[in-house]
């Protein structure tokens, strides 16, 4: 199978490139092809001639999107539209990586793939609009929503917590946002398997289980055997430009229909911490 990955230099893209070894894979970063430029996208797809395109490129600075709305929609919506049109012209299949932020977080039980989109942030709106337009351009495309990504090769929550814990005896972490932490290595595995199964439609792909950011941080500190005290707090004590969903757990049913079940987030965290140590990250 011939595969082209847009966003290969990002945290998820790096995991995809590392793990996708059994097929012919070309990884492209923004320097290779800017997805905002339809000519560059079309040329890249013409040159690589993929059977599958995986689009993991995105502007993921959620707070930055609030003050850079045009950039957010250019990268997160128009970029995917450019890729979808080029994919349609070339006859390639497309998997687009989306987000739990397309929901408003008002539920208190897992979101299903057909729950209505109701994004509260610019980032969420840009991804939700992309989902809508891609489904119209390529009805057979696969939209893989995920959440709370962490992994090697990029900024992520466990890395931030460990760096803070190295200099602070106490950490206050919000305890009123609940989701499913997802290890990039596990998401990459799911994406590879979805492509091989010719998946289409919306799929929710996260590690199993759920927690709050406080519970996530407490688990990180405990597994590393640190003495840092982690205290629960509330979102209103840490005002941010972009509103976060209070609850954004995604139901795994759509993924399990393809015979795919990801490990628990605790299992993913354990492997991430081991990989982090082996990389000698302070």
Q: How far, in Å, CA of 77 to CA of 65, rounded? A: 12
Active-site annotation, residues: 123
- Are 96 and 58 in contact by the 8 Å Cβ rule? The answer is no
Q: How far, in Å, CA of 60 to CA of 121, rounded? A: 12
Tokens of 260: 């795919």
Domain boundaries defined on the chain: 2-155+180-209+248-263
Confidence at residue 281, expressed as pLDDT on a 0 to 100 scale: 67
- Are 235 and 244 in contact by the 8 Å Cβ rule? The answer is yes
SS3 string, 92-115, reads CEEEEEEEHHHCCCCCCCCECCCC
Q: How far, in Å, CA of 121 to CA of 108, rounded? A: 19
Dump pLDDT digits (tens) for 149-193.
Answer: 999 988 899 999 999 999 999 999 999 999 999 999 999 999 999
Sign, CA torsion 60/61/66/67: negative
Please state the pTM of the whole predicted model: 0.97
Structural fold of domain 2-155+180-209+248-263: Rossmann fold (3.40.50)
What residue ranges in 175-218 does DSSP mark as E strands?
Answer: 178-179, 182-183, 201-204, 211-212
Q: How far, in Å, CA of 275 to CA of 15, rounded? A: 12
Confidence at residue 282, expressed as pLDDT on a 0 to 100 scale: 59
Confidence at residue 154, expressed as pLDDT on a 0 to 100 scale: 84
Q: Going from the first residue of the chain to its last (282 residues), give the mean pLDDT of each consecutive group of 10, the final group possibly shorter.
A: 97 98 97 98 98 98 98 98 98 98 97 98 98 98 98 94 96 98 98 98 98 98 97 95 97 98 98 91 63
Tokens of 193: 């398997």
């Amino acid at each position: 199978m011939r595969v082209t990955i847009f966003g290969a230099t990002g945290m998820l893209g790096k995991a995809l490139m590392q793990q996708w070894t059994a097929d012919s894979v070309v990884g492209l970063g923004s320097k290779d092809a800017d997805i905002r430029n339809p000519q560059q996208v079309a040329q890249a797809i013409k040159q690589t001639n993929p059977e599958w395109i995986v689009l993991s490129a995105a502007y993921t600075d959620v707070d930055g999107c609030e003050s850079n709305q045009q950039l957010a929609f250019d990268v997160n919506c128009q970029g995917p539209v450019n890729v979808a049109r080029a994919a349609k012209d070339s006859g390639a299949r497309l998997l687009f990586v989306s987000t739990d932020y397309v929901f408003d977080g008002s539920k208190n039980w897992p979101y299903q793939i057909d729950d209505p989109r109701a994004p509260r942030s610019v980032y969420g709106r840009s991804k939700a609009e992309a989902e809508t337009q891609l489904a119209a351009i390529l009805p057979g495309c696969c939209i893989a929503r995920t959440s709370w990504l962490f992994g090697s090769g990029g900024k992520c929550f466990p890395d931030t917590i460990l760096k803070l814990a190295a200099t602070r005896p106490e950490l206050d972490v919000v305890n009123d946002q609940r989701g499913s932490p997802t290890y990039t290595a596990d998401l990459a595995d799911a994406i590879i398997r979805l492509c091989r199964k010719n998946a289409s439609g919306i799929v929710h792909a996260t590690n199993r289980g759920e927690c709050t950011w406080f519970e996530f941080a407490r688990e990180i500190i405990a597994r590393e055997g640190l003495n840092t005290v982690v205290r629960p707090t509330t979102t209103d004590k840490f005002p941010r430009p972009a509103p976060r969903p209070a609850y954004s757990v995604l139901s795994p049913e759509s993924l399990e229909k393809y015979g795919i079940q990801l490990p628990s987030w605790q299992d993913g965290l354990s492997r991430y911490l081991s990989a982090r140590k082996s990389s000698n990250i302070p």
